[in-house]
Amino acid sequence: MGHTRRDGGRLGRIRRSYEQGADEAGGERPLVGYVALLGGYAALAATAAGAVALTRRRPLPRRPAPADLALLAVATFRTSRLLAKDAVTSPLRAPFTTYQEPAGPGEVTEAPRPGPVRHAVGELLICPFCLTQWVATAGVAGLLVAPTATRWLAGGMTVVSAADVLQLAYAKLQQAAG
Q: State the pTM of this model.
A: 0.81
Residue 166: CB atoms within 10 Å:
10
Count of CB atoms situated within 10 Å of the CB of 42: 10
CB atoms within 10 A of CB 111: 15
pLDDT value of position 3 = 46
Residue 9 has pLDDT above 80, yes or no: no
Over residues 13-42, mean pLDDT: 72
Instruction: Map out the domains of the chain as residue ranges.
Output: 2-177
Better-predicted residue by pLDDT, 16 or 63: 63
Tell the burial category of 129 from Cβ atoms under 10 Å away from its Cβ (0-12, 13-18, 19+): exposed
Is the per-residue pLDDT at 2 higher than 50? no
In the chain, the largest separation of any two C-alpha atoms, in whole Å, equals 74
Q: What's the half-sphere exposure (Cβ side, CA atoms, 13 Å) at 17?
A: 7
- Tens of pLDDT, residue by residue over 28-83, are 678 889 999 999 999 999 999 998 888 888 888 889 999 999 999 999 999 999 99
For range 109-114, the mean pLDDT:
95
> Between 31-55 and 9-19, two packed helices, what is the crossing angle to 10 degrees?
110
Contact between residue 64 and residue 143 where contact means Cβ atoms under 8 Å apart: yes
